[in-house]
Amino acid sequence: MNTRIALCTVAALSLTVTTSLTAAPSPAELRAKAKEIFGPLPDKMPGSENDTPARVQLGRKLYFEKKLSRDQTISCNSCHLLDNFRGGVDNDPTSGGVGGKRGDRNAPTTLNAGFHLAQFWDGRAPSLKEQAKGPVLNPVEMAMPDEREVEARLKADTAYQKLFAKAFPQETNKITYDNMAEAIAAFERTLVTHDRFDDFQRGDDKALSTQELEGLNLVMNMGCTACHVGPAMGGSSYQKMGLVHPYQTSDIGRAKVTKDESDNMKFKVPSLRNVALTAPYFHDGKTATVKEAVAKMAYHQLDKQINTAEQDSITAFLFALTDKPRAFTD
């Protein structure tokens, strides 16, 4: 009898140990690991310390200004929508330009873009300022003929004369193409978002649901953080699309910029912040939902076939990365 009791006691202790070894991490454990891998998004973007309210005000107006396109029908906001709490994208596979032309890549969000190592999918612009110069003169996008025509339109507007004077008071020639781009960049550096994941990282145990915590745990342990790291949770490196299993695309990605064959099909890793707002996904805009994107990334990049429950948990966590003013619920 005593032997049987002893054996039962050992079995119970064994079960207790096994259960504790497989138990889900506590919120405190998840938080500690998350802060090591990601960390909260800073309140300000690099370079914003040199921005002035007058420069941001000018940049905001320019961001929505359709005079910057040849036929005066398209602004930055046409492809990177911010009004009505939009996510800094147009939610089209590719964006429309002057004369009905369409670009060949999905429009990235302008939210938090200044935290990235470079701009555009292929990283061809090293800064927000340089990025702002591109679409205005691109024949498929805003299609302005040259910088002088852009400057002439702005100089003919008395409102812009005053705004540029306030934004660039020390410069003799205030209305320039370079200053236009600098002002737009200053405005875009204000587009820092705040989400529930950062609330969790800063100590709020109630910020994320049980399912969202499960999703966070999966993201941190299944390989996603080989690319999606840092406060922006991406945007800090280039990676081949179809690292393990080929992804069907004719776009050679960064190799078009570098002319280096080793960069074939490499693209800037997108940020996971606000991903729920920025469908459709990937450089070609051919993936409609977050859940579908999660499954494809697991397969193409990590050689993993994840089940429905795992997809749902990761998707739930990714939705928690939405800027709180933009996070509408049913």
- Return d(Cα 315, Cα 216) in angstroms, integer: 10
Could you tell me the two tokens for 295? Answer: 């499954």
Give me the residue label for tokens 């994840």: 306
Phi, psi values for residue 266, rounded to 5°: -90, 140
Torsion sign, CA atoms 216, 218, 223, 224: negative
Q: Which residues pair with 102 in a beta bridge?
A: 96
Could you tell me the two tokens for 141? Answer: 């996008």
User: What kind and span of H or E run contains 59?
Assistant: helix 53-63
Give the amino acid at 37.
I
As a whole number of Å, the CA-based R_g of the chain is 24
Tell me which DSSP letter residue 269 carries: P
Active site residues: 141
Could you tell me the two tokens for 86? Answer: 């939009």
List the one residue out of 187, 153, 171, 176 whose CA is nearest residue 70: 153
- Return d(Cα 269, Cα 276) in angstroms, integer: 16
| Contact predicate 92/285, CB 8 Å | yes
